[in-house]
Structure 1
């Protein structure tokens, strides 16, 4: 039996761990059952990418530091430490969740956008699917990511997209979905009534960029404005399609994807 742990409600946990009084993460033999638990620590460092190793080690240090705190200190410690502790325990070490946490991005709360910070925009394109625009600002010191949904509309043609971008973004940077290269080039060549265009570039996409972008998003507390109704809906429905391959569903991502594009530019 080979598995990635899910929740303590799963029959495997109840039958093989709870009933047999076996501690999760153990490497032992109980009642002719051999338990083998592995993590990245069982793989030589040379077989990891430098980026992944640094990320896992950052999580490990936060995890170990958190476990040394008193209950009061744990309650009062930073949200970043709490997030890293939970992420390392569940995602990296393969711990069992106490309850189902199906959504990928639980690290968000409603709040006001901080307009004192520099900001840019992320954009996704569609026709039957919505074309979207989201305003994004980052506070690296406090690990806060401010998000404001600007529009989420289907059936927009090229002219309307330009008109709305020109009105909302002015000359502020927009990072768009680079899969729509022809559309981006066309939008960049347009001029508004003021004879000015828009500042639009395509997102940089590499192999594994979706997962790495999700991991980066999980490092921040997401501050979502009250009016961002569609974004909240996406955050409440964006789940893993396949946890074994770390593949998210290709849905409820029309705002989440452009947030990744913008964050990839801001947090370089």
Structure 2
């Protein structure tokens, strides 16, 4: 097997990552820092080098693999010139190294039985890769996987868990467990887009725009630093796994839907929730969070989710978009009633509620709730206004709650 040049194939900045053999290899990094593609290249290369090793790839939700880790690992085989030696199947979702039968298996924490019952036909389960590990808010979920990578291995083999993520919130258990300690079994790295020599000029211009216009987001996505959780706007929230259809049948619950339009550099955000005004509870059970969406695509997504007949309250600063989406068959969409203090009033109203976010269906809502903070002046004093970031799903929720705050609502009946 020919040697792969790290310099030519992967580029700079990941020598320690490539050579480390300890139990935990943890990489927080900004967008475009090569952390995920480097992890994909490492696993393909080393499985071919070590014919008894198998890999488990984990995401919070199983469905997220197809367009992320599965595609990245498939890309890695082409990058290394070995695609003809690998078979990638979508049912079941797995990759097989043809000469030996070694497998890369894909699982989601939303199906715990599929993880605890893992067996391999050839060799040993040596490695696990957690992509977007920040989305795993419960440390116990990680521990269950950690404990499943066990047993004696042949000489020269080693067990290792790789975690890659954007560091949205400094209060996350990942920081305390892997970055605030000194342990020879842990390699904790921070990487940025500056170590990615394969980026184009347009990519670098986007980071420069972010640095000037979204400094708090740039701190995380550009510099790979931990997001600051001090001054959190919403503290009374949690993640749970629940069946929203059962909650919808309970007395007092109303269904609400909100939509915030994205721009060139921001995502559009759609949320669906169930609200009980008397109990002061909000169950957020569905989301869509994506950039560069045209209005016809937004309408298509709403239809696909079967919400086309529901009342949807959308950002009133985009009346043309609302009219266009209505023209695509989303007939009950309407503009939010904005005013000079609508953001603060909406936040203050939401703060009266306990917010429960679906553990597996709404990762971006959880990310925003973790990162949405009050703005500060130059002395660090908090101001009575939120930062203009991490607020797309939050704005969608404010719009949706208008119909509760003003005494009306819709249900699934």
- Does residue 158 (structure 1) correspond to residue 295 (structure 2)? The answer is yes
Q: How far is the alpha carbon of 1:164 from its aligned partner?
A: 1.0
- Does residue 222 (structure 1) correspond to residue 317 (structure 2)? The answer is no
Q: In structure 2, list runs of 5 or more residues that go unmatched.
A: 1-228, 407-413
Question: RMSD between aligned alpha carbons?
Answer: 1.7
Matches within 5 A, 1:237-256: 237-242=371-376, 245-256=383-394
Please say if residues 149 and 231 of structure 1, whose CA atoms lie closer than 8 Å, have aligned partners that are also in contact.
no
Matches within 5 A, 1:58-207: 101-111=230-240, 112=242, 113=244, 114-116=247-249, 117-128=253-264, 129-168=266-305, 169-191=307-329, 197-207=330-340
Q: TM-score, normalised by structure 2?
A: 0.38
Q: In structure 1, list runs of 5 or more residues that go unmatched.
A: 1-99, 192-196
Please say if residues 127 and 157 of structure 1, whose CA atoms lie closer than 8 Å, have aligned partners that are also in contact.
no
Distance 2:369 2:236 in 1: 9
Equivalent residue for 2:398? Answer: 260
Distance 1:156 1:144 in 2: 31
Please say if residues 277 and 404 of structure 2, whose CA atoms lie closer than 8 Å, have aligned partners that are also in contact.
no
Distance 1:256 1:148 in 2: 14
Q: How far is the alpha carbon of 1:170 from its aligned partner?
A: 2.3
Distance 1:110 1:245 in 2: 28
Greater strand share, 1 or 2? Answer: 2
Distance 2:382 2:234 in 1: 17
Distance 2:404 2:273 in 1: 9
Please say if residues 110 and 225 of structure 1, whose CA atoms lie closer than 8 Å, have aligned partners that are also in contact.
yes
- Does residue 213 (structure 1) correspond to residue 346 (structure 2)? The answer is yes
Distance 1:253 1:200 in 2: 21
Q: How far is the alpha carbon of 1:201 from its aligned partner?
A: 0.4
Q: How far is the alpha carbon of 1:244 from its aligned partner?
A: 5.6
Distance 2:270 2:331 in 1: 13
Q: TM-score, normalised by structure 1?
A: 0.58
In the TM superposition, structure 1's runs of 4+ consecutive aligned residues that sit over 2 Å from their partners are 111-118, 242-245
Question: How many positions carry a matched residue from both structures?
Answer: 164
Distance 1:165 1:246 in 2: 34
